Amino acid sequence: MPKSPDSVLSCYDVNHDLLPDSVLRYAFRQLLGNNGYVHLVNVPESFDHVAFLKELGDFQPTPTGTVIGDLKPEADMDDIYHAQNRKPLVPHSEGYEFRGLPPRYMALWCVKPASGPGGETTMLDGQRVLREFTEDEQRHFLETPYTWKSTEGLARRGVHHTVEHPVLEDVDGERVFRFSYNNLVVPEGDDLATRLLKRGKAIYDESHVAVQYEERDMIVWNNWRMLHSRNAFEDPTRHLKRVQIAAPVSLASAA
Ligand SMILES: [Fe+2]
């Protein structure tokens, strides 16, 4: 059974009053720092998701160029691994196939929840996986370049990216963890990378949290720390919005 989210913030306080902006931002940053993600609930119609997210940093276009994008099932994509269908995904960090640093933060908010079962966004703190690896093994992941490729779904839309990055990268005192269960190319005989994927998937399956959306709910996570995925669903009208937020310019140019 997936766990319930343990980092949840309501837009209303105990007296059913809307939180003042400054209090909402303070509590949000605190939860994001402590847990690596926040599930924002009881979101009023007046809430401006885009304006709120802009305070975290600059938005970054996806491989298809969308800056503020839609996640809606595409009818011709159900036979392939792709974010925009109804199939389950496997654990990954976002942007492992980008040339530079992956997005610092990711945000999804709900326009229309899936009716019926499924459609939860799932998440796990990457630390849960990394702590199974010794310091020497982690050094290997800092120093060894691996090949990462973009998804089959994007390939069908004409996007092919292949890059080389280590799994771990230290950027200005912060550790970046790239992970993809299906798009990290494991070299023949690389037992360590094989173990990373196998244990990563197993720990994810055992310990992830699953976020169920109400209308306007938003989740924001630190994509350098958290892994995420999605459960399958039926409803063809499920609709989320997605934004990726770049690393601050000073960090991106240092990498
Ligand atoms: Fe993703």
CA of residue 231 to ligand 1 center, whole Å? 12
- Element at 34 (helix H, strand E): helix 21-35
Beta strands (DSSP E) in the chain are 8-10, 37-41, 68-71, 105-112, 121-125, 146-149, 162-165, 168-171, 174-177, 184-185, 209-211, 218-222, 226-230, 239-245
Measure the CA–CA gap between 118 and 214, rounded to whole angstroms: 13
Domain count of the chain? 1
Please state the φ and ψ torsions of residue 228, each to the nearest 5 degrees. -145, 170
Average pLDDT, the chain: 93
The encoded tokens of residue 245 equal 């937020």
CA of residue 20 to ligand 1 center, whole Å? 31
CA of residue 17 to ligand 1 center, whole Å? 34
Q: Residue 2 falls within a domain, yes or no?
A: no
> What pLDDT digit, counting tens, does each position of 186-229 carry?
999 999 999 999 999 999 999 999 999 999 999 999 999 999 99
CA of residue 39 to ligand 1 center, whole Å? 16
Residue among 122, 105, 126 nearest 54 (CA): 105
Residue among 50, 37, 49, 48 nearest 9 (CA): 37
Instruction: Pick the range with the lowest mean pLDDT from 6-10, 81-85, 130-134, 162-166.
Output: 81-85
Paired with 170 in beta bridges are: 175
Q: Residue 1 falls within a domain, yes or no?
A: no
Q: Residue 141 falls within a domain, yes or no?
A: yes
Q: Residue 178 falls within a domain, yes or no?
A: yes
CA of residue 27 to ligand 1 center, whole Å? 25
CA of residue 90 to ligand 1 center, whole Å? 9
Residue with tokens 């059974």: 1
Measure the CA–CA gap between 87 and 119, rounded to whole angstroms: 9
> What pLDDT digit, counting tens, does each position of 138-159 carry?
999 999 999 999 888 777 878 8
pLDDT at 249: 62
Q: Which CATH number fits the domain that encloses residue 246?
A: 3.60.130.10
Task: Read off the DSSP letter of residue 13.
Answer: -
Amino acid at 196: L
pLDDT at 123: 97
Q: Residue 156 falls within a domain, yes or no?
A: yes
CA of residue 237 to ligand 1 center, whole Å? 19
CA of residue 92 to ligand 1 center, whole Å? 6
Residue among 164, 183, 181, 157 nearest 99 (CA): 164
> What pLDDT digit, counting tens, does each position of 99-120 carry?
999 999 999 999 999 999 999 9
Q: Residue 3 falls within a domain, yes or no?
A: no
CA of residue 184 to ligand 1 center, whole Å? 14
Measure the CA–CA gap between 196 and 240, rounded to whole angstroms: 30
CB 170 within 8 A of CB 219: no
Domain extent for 190: 8-254
Integer CA distances (angstroms), 87 to 33, 82, 116, in order: 31, 8, 14
The encoded tokens of residue 78 equal 């159900």
Higher pLDDT, residue 67 or 249: 67
Q: Residue 170 falls within a domain, yes or no?
A: yes
